[in-house]
Chain A
Amino acid sequence: RKEVEQDPGPFNVPEGATVAFNCTYSNSASQSFFWYRQDCRKEPKLLMSVYSSGNEDGRFTAQLNRASQYISLLIRDSKLSDSATYLCVVNTYLSGGTASKLTFGTGTRLQVTL
């Protein structure tokens, strides 16, 4: 089983639609969670962190469910400029607690159309 799993998509949605992505992780000891955005052939960039209480940043809402070990990203009122690949990222502290490791999912591709 992969450490971090995402549906690769693509999700094709019309402009203005609401779309949601899920991501599951296998290590129950994972501590922190993030969504990164990656445009085609470009470097990934942090979109938002995911907190246990859920958090919102404009049209984007992230949720964490520790019991079921998944995180989600909801995008409301999709824009053409939201077209990208969204990477689920999980941070797990290594033994000894002196370092941690980021594990990236393979990404979910979103295509927003007119």
Chain B
Amino acid sequence: EAQVTQNPRYLITVTGKKLTVTCSQNMNHEYMSWYRQDPGLGLRQIYYSMNVEVTDKGDVPEGYKVSRKEKRNFPLILESPSPNQTSLYFCASTKTQTADPFTGEQFFGPGTRLTVL
């Protein structure tokens, strides 16, 4: 079954304790991205990756790191989480995000609900 998986699904942690949220897709997609979703602000892109070893900042990258060592995996790292990073996080993938053409279908993981105390 084609899917994007994220782990953990729920996490409660404390300020400053490093954590990693994993994301994996089995569709051989080139493009992967991380979003956070907050009430009233919608989905905002944190980082994206156009292919292996190619990553770039999205709209809200501060406090986050990513890596793309393999095509299928795109982990999100919070080196020193703070309460303002409490949010619902989604990983997404799509075959390609180049200009010709873009179908628009991003496949999202089930989400990770993170609470930082």
Contacts and interface: CB of A to CB of B under 8 A. Distances in A.
| Chain B associates with chain A | yes
Interface of A: 4, 8, 31-32, 34, 41-46, 49, 87, 89, 91, 93, 97-102, 104-107
Report the interface size class on chain B: 20 to 34
B50 interface: yes
Query: Which among B35, B42, B44 has the highest number of chain A CB atoms within 10 Å?
Result: B42
Contacts of A4: 42
B81 interface: no
Interface of B: 35, 40-45, 50, 88, 90, 97-99, 102-106, 108-111, 113
Nearest to A35: B104
A87 B92 CA distance: 15
Contacts of A97: 99
Contacts of B43: 44, 87, 104
B42 A32 contact: no
